[in-house]
């Protein structure tokens, strides 16, 4: 498999696409998702894990809200990973993640994930390359466990923004009163480490590919939401789910 080089992938929606038409298509997909989610819940055989990764201001919160916000909340949960607690640090890095794996019938969304353990931790040299390599193997084993032993459909999205778009959005957070709550001084510092983050992401995407990644051009929200919704819809559709028959 050819190595993925992020700098050679556009962060923009394809030029030929019409924004309004794409938005209309997304609305239709979301309606289809409603029925598919109901089937998933009723059949109680498969589950979905939607992992959303991306740099600060790449639009993780927005895509989660707009793609999963119309689903029945009884069948979808979002878990946001923060810095590990003391208790979490006292266990292997996947301990807290495994706990949050989806039950049959459920859609679980990860806002950030175990990938942070080979991204931020690597960029800041809290772990060395050897440990990172071991973690990547462990991540492949872990995702295989969920996929093989609980029929979990894993969708891994990398929200691919340009450094320019990110910086612009970070500035907006200092100016727009509705966005100020998201502003965090630390984000500016992290943004300076852009190239190191891209290297770490590339390694994660190329090595943790037991489940392949979806690279989502993320400079335009309408395209990003369309692509994630479409992938979720296609993944569910491919399962050929059926409502269980009446048990007599």
Give the residues lining the site for a copy of itself (CB under 8 A): 44, 87, 90-95, 98-99, 101, 103-105, 134-135, 138, 141-142, 144-146, 148-150, 152
Other beta carbons within 10 Å of 28: 11
Residue of 1, 45, 3, 53 whose CA lies nearest to 228: 53
Residues 247, 116: Cα–Cα separation, whole Å: 44
Residue number, 134 or 242, with CB nearest to a copy of itself: 134
Least distance in Å: CB of 89 to a copy of itself? 8
Which whole-number Å values give the CA distances from 102 to 33, 79, 151, 170, in the listed order? 18, 11, 10, 32
Residue of 236, 245, 224 whose CA lies nearest to 32: 236
Least distance in Å: CB of 218 to a copy of itself? 31
Residues 174, 89 contacting (CB under 8 angstroms):
no
Residue number, 135 or 173, with CB nearest to a copy of itself: 135
Residue number, 19 or 99, with CB nearest to a copy of itself: 99
Residue number, 17 or 94, with CB nearest to a copy of itself: 94
Least distance in Å: CB of 246 to a copy of itself? 21
Q: Supply φ then ψ for residue 5, to 5 degrees.
A: -115, 110
Least distance in Å: CB of 165 to a copy of itself? 35
Least distance in Å: CB of 183 to a copy of itself? 34
Least distance in Å: CB of 221 to a copy of itself? 34
Least distance in Å: CB of 47 to a copy of itself? 8
3-state secondary structure 101-156: CCCCCCEEEEECCHHHHHCHHHHCCCCCHHHHHHHHHHHHHHHHHHHHHHCEEEEE
**Which of 13-19's residues contact partners 24+ apart within 8 Å by CB, and which partners?**
13/217, 13/219, 13/220, 13/222, 13/223, 14/223, 17/223, 19/220, 19/222
Q: Which tokens in the block code for residue 155?
A: 């969708």
Residue number, 135 or 233, with CB nearest to a copy of itself: 135
Residue number, 145 or 214, with CB nearest to a copy of itself: 145
Query: How far is Cα of residue 14 from the mean position of the Cα atoms in its chain?
Result: 21
Residue number, 110 or 226, with CB nearest to a copy of itself: 110
């Amino acid at each position: 498999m050819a190595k993925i080089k992020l700098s050679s992938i556009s962060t923009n929606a394809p030029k030929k696409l019409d924004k309004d038409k794409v938005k209309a298509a997304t609305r239709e997909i979301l309606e289809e998702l409603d029925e598919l989610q109901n089937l998933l819940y009723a059949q109680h055989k498969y589950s979905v894990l939607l992992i959303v990764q991306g740099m600060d201001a790449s639009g993780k919160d927005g895509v989660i809200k707009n793609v999963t916000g119309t689903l029945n909340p009884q069948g979808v949960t979002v878990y946001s990973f923060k810095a590990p607690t003391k208790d979490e640090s006292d266990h292997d890095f996947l301990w807290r993640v495994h706990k949050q794996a989806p039950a049959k019938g459920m859609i679980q969304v990860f806002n950030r994930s175990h990938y942070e353990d080979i991204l931020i931790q690597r960029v800041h040299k809290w772990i060395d390359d050897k440990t990172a390599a071991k973690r990547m193997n462990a991540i492949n084993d872990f995702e295989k466990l969920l996929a093989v032993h609980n029929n979990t459909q894993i969708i891994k999205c990398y929200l691919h923004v340009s450094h320019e778009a990110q910086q612009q959005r970070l500035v907006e957070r200092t100016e727009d009163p509705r966005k100020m709550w998201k502003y965090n001084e630390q984000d500016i510092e992290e943004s300076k480490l852009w190239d190191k983050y891209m290297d770490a992401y590339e390694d994660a995407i190329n090595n943790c590919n037991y489940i392949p990644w979806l690279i989502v051009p993320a400079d335009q929200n309408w395209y990003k939401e369309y692509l994630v919704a479409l992938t979720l819809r296609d993944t569910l559709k491919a399962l050929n789910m059926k409502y269980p028959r009446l048990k007599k």
